[in-house]
Amino acid sequence: MRQAGRILPEYRAVRERLSLLDLCKTPEAAAEVTVVAVDRLGVDAAIIFADILLLAEPLGVGLEFVGGEGPVIRRPVRAPADVDRLPAVDPLERVPFVFEAVRLARQALAGRVPLIGFAGGPFTVASYLIEGHASQDFLETKGLMHREPAAWHALMEKLAVLTIAYLNGQIAAGADAVQLFDSWIGCLAPEDYRRGVLPHVRRVIAGLAPGVPVIHFGTGTAGLLELMREAGGTVIGLDWRVDLGQAWRRLGAGVGVQGNLDPALLLADPAGIRQGVRAVLQSAARRPGHVFNLGHGVLPATPWTHAKAMVEMVHEESRR
């Protein structure tokens, strides 16, 4: 899971000298923190270190990372004119450091484990552009979707085109698989997702280089699973608020699933963690096509030794 590195002492040391944005823009450093997470935690895949809002900077909306608060967009997209004003952006030209980080990480991994590239999903990126910051109720986002449907779809189309180029660029640079983090779709009514989001996600996934596995992830999606499947993805990423086995049955046999331990469980003791790991593996009935993972990002308070212990437990329990 993305952000696993941030609990590591090596990552924190790098962050003492580099801000989040500067770290993303320094390919050697981004590749280094990507690889160190594999070394320390013993996971079976790497995911490139980056941020889902890196594309917001060339869009000219005034992206900043304010200490403790997370991302802030100084000139949020609120009206149709704001959508019109967004420039066409070529990621290869404007965020070359991401592709360079992918190349360097792949080199450093030397085939030990596969490397996953990623992007924010169009709804999730749109929600930051519109709200201007992390949100709980997404009222501005839903407001644009409901009151200005033409502007909404225009924004989603721009983001879809951008996301395709961005992910294909990562694939060309050496990513073995890509993950689409449409993390906040769980705030939507299924009907709103179907009308306002699904066509754009489908376009993104259909536009990616063929043969590359795509992990399609969201949180709070227990009411959206069939629609996520319709939008596409080789693997559907599940958060912990759904039974993995039940979700897989709803999704059908033709798709893999990723998940879904509650990240809060990594704050418990080893016995509690093992119980949770077993429950997830049992729920998956140990069928091929299940990628064990947390249900969402690693919580900052997680002791990294607990994350490492969890990885070992998964390996042990899977061998049985």
List interacting residues with a copy of itself (CB under 8 A). Answer: 136-139, 142-143, 146-147, 186-192, 220, 222-224, 240-243, 246-247, 260, 262, 264-265, 267-269, 272, 276, 279, 295, 299, 301
Q: What angle (nearest 5°) sits at the alpha carbon of residue 299, between those of residues 76 and 284? A: 105
Shortest distance in whole angstroms from residue 138 CB to a copy of itself: 7
Helix (H) or strand (E) holding 261: strand 256-261
What is the phi-psi region of residue 11: left when phi exceeds 0, alpha when psi lies from -120 to 50, beta otherwise?
Answer: alpha
Backbone φ and ψ of 63, nearest 5°: -75, 135
Shortest distance in whole angstroms from residue 189 CB to a copy of itself: 4
Q: 289 or 297, CB closer to a copy of itself?
A: 297
Q: Per the residue annotation, which of 2, 40, 203, 274 is the catalytic one? A: 2
Per the omega criterion (within 30 degrees of 0), is the bond before 293 cis?
no
The yes-or-no answer on residue 51 being catalytic is yes
The yes-or-no answer on residue 320 being catalytic is no
Q: 31 or 242, CB closer to a copy of itself?
A: 242
Shortest distance in whole angstroms from residue 194 CB to a copy of itself: 9
Helix (H) or strand (E) holding 76: none
Q: How many Å separate Cα 176 from the centre of its chain?
A: 15
Distance CA 15, CA 64 (A): 16
Q: 5 or 263, CB closer to a copy of itself?
A: 263
Q: Per the residue annotation, which of 40, 103, 106, 128 is the catalytic one? A: 128
Q: Please, where are the H alpha helices in the chain?
A: 9-17, 20-24, 27-41, 80-85, 91-94, 96-109, 122-131, 139-147, 149-172, 190-196, 198-206, 225-231, 244-251, 270-283, 304-319
The yes-or-no answer on residue 15 being catalytic is yes
Compute how many other C-beta atoms are within 10 angstroms of the C-beta atom of residue 317: 16
Shortest distance in whole angstroms from residue 127 CB to a copy of itself: 13
Q: 208 or 238, CB closer to a copy of itself?
A: 238
Q: Assess contact for 103 and 34: CB atoms under 8 A.
A: no
Residue with tokens 């709803």, as numbered in its chain: 250
Q: 93 or 136, CB closer to a copy of itself?
A: 136
Q: Per the residue annotation, which of 51, 182, 239, 262 is the catalytic one? A: 51
Shortest distance in whole angstroms from residue 278 CB to a copy of itself: 10
Q: 121 or 295, CB closer to a copy of itself?
A: 295
β-pair type (235-237, 256-261):
parallel
Shortest distance in whole angstroms from residue 255 CB to a copy of itself: 18
- Any idea which residues carry the catalytic annotation? 2, 6, 15, 51, 128
